[in-house]
Amino acid sequence: MAADNEISAIYYIQHHLQNLTFGKHPDNGWSWASNSTEATEMGFWAIHVDTMGWSIAMGALFIWVFRKAGRMATTGVPGGLQNAAEMVIEFIENLTRSTFHGKNSHIAPLALTLFMWILLMNSLKLIPVDYLPEMFGRLGVEYMKIVPTTDVNATLGMAFGVFCLIIYYSIKVKGAGGFAKELSLTPFNHWLLIPFNLVLEVVGLIVKPISLGLRLFGNMFAGEVIFILIALLPFWAIWLLDVPWAIFHILVVSLQAFIFTTLSIVYLSAAHEHH
Amino acid sequence: MNINMTLIGQTIAFAIFVWFCIKYVWPPISQALHERQKKIADGLDAASRASRDLELAQERAEQTLRESKEQASEILEQAHKRSTQMVEEAREQARSEGERLVASARAEIDQEVNRVKDELRAQVATLALIGAERVLESSIDEKAHREMLDKLAAEL
At A130-144, the pLDDT tens digits run: 888 888 888 888 888
Write phi, then psi, for B56 (nearest 5 degrees). Answer: -60, -45
Asked whether residue A210 is assigned to any structural domain, the reply reads yes
Q: Which of B2, B14, B26 sits opposite A158 (nearest CB)?
A: B14
A175 — alpha (psi -120 to 50), left (phi > 0) or beta? Answer: left
CB A245 within 8 A of CB A200: no
3-state helix, strand, coil in chain B (%, to 5): 95, 0, 5
Asked whether residue A201 is assigned to any structural domain, the reply reads yes
Chain B residues in contact with A63 (beta carbon < 8 A): 17, 20-21, 24-25
Cβ of residue B3 closer than 8 Å to a chain A Cβ = yes
Count of CB atoms situated within 10 Å of the CB of A228: 18
Cβ of residue B43 closer than 8 Å to a chain A Cβ = no
CB contact under 8 A, A67 and B4: no
Asked whether residue B84 is assigned to any structural domain, the reply reads yes
CB A146 within 8 A of CB A124: yes
Asked whether residue A3 is assigned to any structural domain, the reply reads no
Cβ of residue B2 closer than 8 Å to a chain A Cβ = yes
pLDDT tens sequence across A219-229: 999 999 999 98
Mean pLDDT check: name the lowest of A33-42, A247-256, B40-49, B78-87. Answer: A33-42
Residue B53 pairs in a beta bridge with none
Catalytic residue ranges of A = 211, 215, 219
CB contact under 8 A, A23 and B9: no
Q: What pLDDT sits at residue A1?
A: 42
**pLDDT grade for A236, boundaries at 50, 70 and 90:** confident
Asked whether residue A262 is assigned to any structural domain, the reply reads yes
Q: What pLDDT sits at residue A262?
A: 95
Q: What pLDDT sits at residue B142?
A: 67
- Cβ burial A113-134 (10 Å sphere, 16+ → b, else e): bbbbbbbbbbbbbeeebeebbe
| Kind plus residue range of the DSSP H or E element containing A46 | strand A46-48
Residue count (chain A):
275
Cβ of residue A163 closer than 8 Å to a chain B Cβ = no
Nearest in space to B30 (alpha carbons), one of B44, A99, B38: B38
Total-model pTM: 0.75
pLDDT at A192 > cutoff 80: yes
Mean pLDDT check: name the lowest of A189-193, B7-11, B142-146. Answer: B142-146
Asked whether residue B130 is assigned to any structural domain, the reply reads no
Q: Which of A42, A52, A85 sits opposite B9 (nearest CB)?
A: A52
Asked whether residue B102 is assigned to any structural domain, the reply reads yes
Rounded Cα–Cα distance for residues A87 and A213 (Å): 27
CB contact under 8 A, A109 and B11: no
Rounded Cα–Cα distance for residues A9 and A22 (Å): 26
Whole domain around residue B13: which residue ranges?
8-112
Written as one letter, the residue type at B88 is E
Asked whether residue B67 is assigned to any structural domain, the reply reads yes
- CA dihedral of residues B85, B86, B88, B90 (deg, nearest 10): 160
Chain B residues in contact with A56 (beta carbon < 8 A): 13
Q: How many domains does chain A have?
A: 1
Asked whether residue A47 is assigned to any structural domain, the reply reads no
Asked whether residue B145 is assigned to any structural domain, the reply reads no
Q: How many domains does chain B have?
A: 1
Chain A residues in contact with B17 (beta carbon < 8 A): 59, 62-63, 113, 117
Asked whether residue A29 is assigned to any structural domain, the reply reads no
Whole domain around residue A203: which residue ranges?
52-271
Asked whether residue B26 is assigned to any structural domain, the reply reads yes
**pLDDT grade for B9, boundaries at 50, 70 and 90:** very high
Count of CB atoms situated within 10 Å of the CB of A73: 23
Asked whether residue A200 is assigned to any structural domain, the reply reads yes
Asked whether residue A45 is assigned to any structural domain, the reply reads no
Cβ of residue B41 closer than 8 Å to a chain A Cβ = no
